[in-house]
Structure 1
C-alpha cells in the first residue's frame, strides 16, 4: 500500500435547506437536520470525481448506521438527529484508492455541509489476510485460552514478493477504546488529526534473510505465530496447530522469556523462521498483542536500515504523560499495509492508523470465541488471475469480516 499523505482538514461550510430522508419511519422525525457530505479528491486526482460513491455514517452513541451514494458533484445527503457521527468514504479505481474518515462529527441543532478530504493510496502487494487474536475456550476443560494468536500475510500481486527485512508491529494504545495521546480532534469538525508517524509500541519484529531468502509467490500466504509456534489444538481442540513447516514465529527468549506465551517453537519451525527483535521499548516479559482490538502494521524502512533508524535521535519517543513508556516513531510512508480492529463491546473506539493506510476498521464482537478477522476474497479477480486475490481498498470496514472459526482451525 503505497500512499501519498495529505493534511486532513475537514471544514464546515454552510447551512443547507432540504434533503431526502434516509428512513421515512425514523423515530426522530420532526427533530432531524440536514447533513450534506461532499467528497473532496486530492489535488491532481480531481478527474476521479464521480457519482455513485458510497458514503457511510454511523451514530456513535446509538449504534445506527446509514448509507448514501454521491451525486455527480460528489455530495451525499442525509437527514439525522443531532448527535456524534463517524463518516467514511471509500472509492477505488483500478489501483488508485481514495479514502476519507471523520471520527467525531458533531451535528447539533443546525443543518450542516461537511467537506471530507480523501487521501490517495495504492493497493498493496503484501497485505494482511487474517488476524486471530481473540482466543478460544479450553473446552472440554474449563477456562479460556489466548496464547495462540497469529496473523497471516498474503501476496496479492502478480509478481513474486520477498518477506526479507519486512517489519511487523502494533500501535499505541494497545486497545481501540483506550486513551490515545497520539491523536487530537479538530474542535469544529470532529476530524481525527494524526501525528506524522505511527507510534509502534513495545517492540519491532523483523523477518531475516538477505534479500531473496523468503519468497512469497502470487497468491501465497505466510503465517506468523505471535505467541507459541506449537500445536495448541493438541491440548485445546478449539485452538489451532501453529507447528507447521514454513510458518514463522515471534520468538526471542532473551527479550520475552515468558514460556506461557512464548514456549520453544515446535519441531517443524526452523530457526531462520524466528522473527528478530529490532528494538524493545517496553518491560513486559511477553509480547503484548491486544486480545480485543489491535492496530497492526507491516512496513519496511526506506533509505536506511531499521537498525540504523532506531539508533537515531528522536526516532524513539517518550509517550506524553508517561515517565517510562516509549514508542518507535515509524513514518507513515514506510507502511505497506495496516488493519485497525475495533472492539464491539465499546462505543469509545478511536482510530490509531491513519486513513491513508486504513480508512476504516473491522469489529471484533467478543473474545474467547475462536473467531478471527479475515479479508474478503475477490472472486472475479481470483478467477481471472488463477490464484487467490483478496479485496484491498485500504478500508478494513469494506475489506474484512469476522469469521466463525479461525481459518487454520482443523
Structure 2
C-alpha cells in the first residue's frame, strides 16, 4: 500500500510539473512589437508620445513612449491588438491633434513592426459634452424606456460662439454593429479618402440667434422634450425653459418620438429639420449613435441640402469633413461586429455604450488645463466616482460638482473618443 502511495505521488508530481510547464509557456511567451508613428508629410515626430496597445480578446493593455524617431517598443504575449496614439502640436496659432488607430495588429511569436498612420485635425471650440441615448429601466421592471434622448453641447473655448448656423447630424448606418456597405473589400471606408461623411435621414439646425458663452452649455432634447420622470423615475426631466429640442412636425411627426414639448420650452428653442431620407422620425440609435455637429462654409445649409450633387448613391448627404466641428463614434458595448463610421480625422477612436440602464456618455476633464485656471482655485471637486461598468474619468475631477461649485471646466478634446469619453452612471441632467 505504501509503495502504491509513493508511485501515485510520483505520478502526480510528474503530471503537475508537465501541466505547470505548459501553462507557463502559454501565458508567459512574449514577443517584441515595435509601433512606428507615421506623421503627415513635413511633420517632425515627437519623442515621448504615449502609444497604447490593447489585446482585443482579453482587453489587457500596454503603454510605451516613442523615441526620437517616433517608435515605441513593447514586449507582449501573442494575440491580436489594437494600437492607438495621440499627439498634438501648435501650428500658426491653431492646436493640431494627430490621432492614429490600427485595430488589426497581429503578434504571432516573431518580432513584429507595424506603422500607425496619424491624421491631423484642428480642435474645436464647441464640443459634444454628453450623449444620453440608451434609455433607462422602467419602474415596473418590464423593460426600458428609450424615447428620452438628449445631447449637451459645451463651449470649451474662452470666446463667445455664435451657433446660428450650427447643425446636427448622424452617420449612416444608424448602428455600429449593422452591416455597413460603405466598406470596401480591403476593409476601408469608401468615403475616407474623399473628404466627406454620410449623414442619414436629415439634419437639425438652430433657426434663431443663439450665442454660447465660454464654459456654458446647451441641452438639446432629441426625443421626448417633456418631464419624463412623471412616468419613469429614472428618466430625465426636460421641462426647462433653458433647454432646446428637436421638434419639426412638418418633417418628423411621429408622436411617439416627438410629443408636444413642455410648455416652458419656448418655441424659439425648437430646432428645425431638413429631411432628405425616408420615415417620420429621425432615429437616434439607442445602442451606438455616430453623432456630429457641423457648420456650413461658403454656402447656406438649405442650398447644400437641395443640391442633388451633394447626395450619394444611398440617398445620404455628403457632409464635408472640413465643416465638422465635433463628432463622436459610439460602439455597442462588447459587440464583435462594431465598425467605425466616423473617419479618423474627426474621431480616431470610439466610446462603448451600454443601453437601457440610464447610463450616459460623458466627456473627460482636461485636468491640467482646468487646474491651470486661476479662477478655479478652491473650486474643483475631486474623487469622482460617477462611472458605470468599470469606466471613469481618469482626471479624478467631478466635473458636474465642480461646475456647481463655480469652477470653469475645460474638457479633454483630442478628437479621439477612446481618450475623451467615459460612460457615466446617469445623465448629468438628473443631478
Range into which the TM-score falls when normalised by the shorter chain = 0.7 to 0.9
Shift of 1:239: 0.6
Q: Write the distance in 1 (CA, Å) between the matches of 2:66 and 2:217.
A: 37
Q: Write the distance in 2 (CA, Å) between the matches of 1:143 and 1:120.
A: 43
Shift of 1:278: 1.7
User: SS in structure 1 opposite 2:329?
Assistant: strand
CA contact (8 A) 1:104 1:191 kept: no
- CA separation of 1:60 and 1:191: change in aligned 2, threshold 3 A: farther
CA contact (8 A) 2:251 2:275 kept: no
Question: Please, what TM-score do these two structures have when normalized by structure 2?
Answer: 0.80
CA contact (8 A) 2:183 2:189 kept: no
User: SS in structure 2 opposite 1:131?
Assistant: strand
Q: Write the distance in 2 (CA, Å) between the matches of 1:34 and 1:195.
A: 32
**Residue number in structure 1 paired with 2:164:** 164
**Residue number in structure 1 paired with 2:197:** 198
Please show how residues 4-403 of structure 1 align to structure 2 within 5 Å.
Answer: 27-30=26-29, 32-46=30-44, 49-93=45-89, 95-108=95-108, 110-140=110-140, 142-184=142-184, 186=186, 194-196=192-194, 197-209=196-208, 213-281=209-277, 283-319=278-314, 326-364=315-353, 366-383=354-371, 384=373, 386=375, 387-403=408-424
Which sections of structure 2, spanning at least 5 residues, go unmatched? Answer: 1-23, 376-407
Q: Which has the higher contact order (CA 8 A, sep 6+)?
A: 1
Q: Write the distance in 2 (CA, Å) between the matches of 1:193 and 1:37.
A: 26
| Cα shift readout 1:6-45 (whole Å, capped 9, x = no counterpart) | xxxxxxxxxxxxxxxxxxx784433x44321111222232
- CA separation of 1:358 and 1:68: change in aligned 2, threshold 3 A: same
Aligned residues: 371
CA contact (8 A) 2:53 2:63 kept: yes
Larger relative helix fraction: 2
| RMSD, aligned α-carbons | 2.3
Q: Write the distance in 2 (CA, Å) between the matches of 1:313 and 1:372.
A: 37
Shift of 1:126: 0.5
Shift of 1:294: 0.8
Question: Please, what TM-score do these two structures have when normalized by structure 1?
Answer: 0.84
Q: Which of 1 and 2 has greater Rg?
A: 2
